[in-house]
Amino acid sequence: MTPTVTPLALIGDSHLGAIKRAFELSPELAAGRPLRFHAFGPGGEATRPFFTVSPSGGHVATTAPRWRNLTLDRQSFAGPEGQGALIALSLPLNTARILRTVSWDRHVPWELQVSEAEIPLSRQTVQALIEQDCGHAVAYARAVAALGLGLVVIEGPRCFAHAPYVKRLRPEVCLEIDSRYRVAVGAALAEAGIAVVPQPAGTITPEGFTDPAFRHENASDAHHANAAYGRQVLRAILDHAARLEMEEGGAAG
Amino acid sequence: MADHPYTHLPEGAFWSPSVAQRHMLDISGLWHAPFPIAPRDRFVTFGSCFAQHFGRALAARGFQWQDEEPPPEGLAPDTARRLGYGLFSARTGNIYTAAMLHQWVDWALGLRTPPELVWQGEGGRVHDPFRPAVEPGGFADTAELLASRRATLEAFRRSILTCNILVFTLGLTESWLDRALGVEFALCPGTLAGRFDPARHVFENRAFASVHADLTQAIEKIRAARGGKGPRVILTVSPVPLAATMSGAHVLVATSGSKAILRAVAGQVASELSRVTYFPSYEIISAPPFRGSFFEPNLRAVNRAGVDHVMTQFFAGVPDNAQGRAQEAGTDSVEALACEEEILGSFGPRG
């Protein structure tokens, strides 16, 4: 009997673009695994309520006005033999949102304050900003997981040091917020039993930014990564899917 | 009929036509700004909880309400308020008494040094005895608390030294002091945090002379630090009754006594110092013609209609040419558009 292959559906924000381009350039990476993409739209929409759960709990639907919305149920993206899909979600672990929208040029974690022109923020305030930014996206991940679909969250790339929203900040402030965000969201996802595919270590500079070698093919885009980055992430996701199949196969055997 | 001093007084000087014969919402002309107020004037607001309404109303009307310690951009308004931002012109929390205002002024101007005193809370967290509610649950540790307090003191200093108009709302006469340190707390130790020590913590119900001296000195010190150039001052008295009293009197009687002192001091200081006025928010909410209708069912909190009525009366007393315009909403950020381009580039139709 041929082992069943879990279909893979990659959904979420604009960081899926790099993965999609990598797949288009090298479809053989999937090794025959059915792959589907569904990009919602700008991740910034995720800071507001953007999904509903049906009264029966059987459907989770995104509702953001500027998105290409998606309704998921247990059979979404299922394979031809009815095998449930693994959903890879790029959304909760995206620090660009909080780095772009909060006034980190004027407000800083209190430990990093260097002048009276900066307003020091307590840990509680920074944490409130993080929870406010990621709360709906983490809740969405929980809701999708509750459908019974397999779910893994794709960690978004760390910011590029040359990005305009990073250049107006002190690097240590930027990296501190990035770090606290990843720790807080990682903990929330772990508590919900949701695995994370981390950013490949080889794409991160010693300082903690994304290596400029992986900047977007379009030089004017200082926010998204390129297909070479996407290739590494796609491999990591596929490896994760294969591991799950082995574990499930092992458990079944 | 003989001519006498009352003959030529305006209608507002007579109870019957200006109060008794009017619907309560038609009672008007209660206050007129006695000094110029220009659209470019920068207001700062401090005081008891009722002062929070002033800042919000001024900003909503397009006046230049100065927030020297604003919340980080992007923080939801409700969360910001919960964390003590945007309530006053710096994150001082409520300054209930004239003595506390005087204390803040002294600290901000470097005339006294605030003690590095903290109150222990639950789970090792610490509270600032001088603004115990600004950080719900307390600060993580003393270093965080002191860094935050320094920032607030600096913001308070900028507020009082650069504003054109200072609005201060007097709330209480009852206060709690640290006998050893000679400082006044915002709350009785042990109520929200800290531990009450009867050997060290003393209650004082400030009398007229004490409130008068603190308020006068606070204003004079601010003006002296500015070389005598401003600010104009608007004093108000909070109509919110005491939640509890240590005076020994019934809380209703204690409220009446405290508010009478504060009202009398505000009027006295307004008559003694130039460019100081008293705005009657206390009367607008609490006077008998309003029949208590501006209070919530707990007969303490002021309801929305009451706040609106107070602010309507305030703006009615401000010259028309000072009325501002509400701010317009913002637009989408350039960076959000960049994300849409990435989506279109990778997932849109190909040529």
Determine whether the interchain pair A42/B137 forms a contact, defined as Cβ–Cβ distance below 8 Å: no
Q: What is the percentage of chain A residues whose pLDDT exceeds 70?
A: 97
Q: For residue A42, tell me if it sits in a domain.
A: yes
- Concatenate the DSSP letters of all residues of B192-255 into one string: SSS---TTTEEEEE--HHHHHHHHHHHHHHHHHHTTT---EEEEEE--PPPS---SSS-HHHHH
Q: For residue B291, tell me if it sits in a domain.
A: yes
User: Above 80 in pLDDT, residue B197?
Assistant: yes
Determine whether the interchain pair B72/A104 forms a contact, defined as Cβ–Cβ distance below 8 Å: yes
pLDDT tier at B106, thresholds 50, 70, 90:
very high
User: Above 50 in pLDDT, residue B336?
Assistant: no
What integer pLDDT is reported at residue B346 of this predicted model? 72
What integer pLDDT is reported at residue B342 of this predicted model? 65
Q: For residue A19, tell me if it sits in a domain.
A: yes
Q: A20 contacts in B (CB within 8 Å)?
A: 346-347
* A45, A70, A110: best to mutate for the B interface, most B CBs within 10 A: A110
Q: Does A42 touch chain B (CB under 8 A)?
A: yes
CA angle A117, B44, B51 (to 5 degrees): 125
pLDDT tier at A131, thresholds 50, 70, 90:
very high
Which value does ipTM take for this structure?
A: 0.86
* Other beta carbons within 10 Å of B150: 15
Determine whether the interchain pair A102/B347 forms a contact, defined as Cβ–Cβ distance below 8 Å: no
| CATH number of the domain to which A128 belongs | 3.40.50.1110
pLDDT digits (tens, 9 = 90+) for A207-241: 999 999 999 999 999 999 999 999 999 999 999 99
Q: For residue A21, tell me if it sits in a domain.
A: yes
Which residue of chain B has the CA closest to A112? Answer: B147
Kindly report the nearest CA distance between residue A19 and chain B, in angstroms: 9
pLDDT tier at B192, thresholds 50, 70, 90:
confident
Which residue of chain A has the CA closest to B145? Answer: A122
Who's near B270: CB < 8 A, 6+ residues apart? Answer: B235, B276, B277, B278
Q: For residue B317, tell me if it sits in a domain.
A: yes
Tell me which residue of B183, B157, B176, B151 sits closest to B66, measured CA to CA.
Answer: B157
* B139, B342, B344, B350: best to mutate for the A interface, most A CBs within 10 A: B342
Q: For residue B1, tell me if it sits in a domain.
A: no
Structural domain total, chain A: 1
User: Above 70 in pLDDT, residue B86?
Assistant: yes
A58 or A81, greater pLDDT: A58
Q: For residue B10, tell me if it sits in a domain.
A: no
Q: For residue B14, tell me if it sits in a domain.
A: no
What integer pLDDT is reported at residue B60 of this predicted model? 87
Q: For residue B283, tell me if it sits in a domain.
A: yes
User: Above 80 in pLDDT, residue B326?
Assistant: no
Q: Does B286 touch chain A (CB under 8 A)?
A: no
Domain that holds residue A132: 8-252
B175, B214 in Cβ contact below 8 A?
A: no
Q: A133 contacts in B (CB within 8 Å)?
A: 74
User: Above 90 in pLDDT, residue B132?
Assistant: yes
Q: Does B148 touch chain A (CB under 8 A)?
A: yes
What integer pLDDT is reported at residue A4 of this predicted model? 74
Q: For residue A77, tell me if it sits in a domain.
A: yes
- Residue range B307-333: average pLDDT? 70
Determine whether the interchain pair B144/A43 forms a contact, defined as Cβ–Cβ distance below 8 Å: no
Determine whether the interchain pair A100/B333 forms a contact, defined as Cβ–Cβ distance below 8 Å: yes
Q: For residue A2, tell me if it sits in a domain.
A: no
* A68, A116, A123, A124: best to mutate for the B interface, most B CBs within 10 A: A124
Domain that holds residue B108: 30-347
Q: For residue B195, tell me if it sits in a domain.
A: yes
What integer pLDDT is reported at residue B327 of this predicted model? 43
Structural domain total, chain B: 1
Query: What mean pLDDT is reported for chain B?
Result: 91
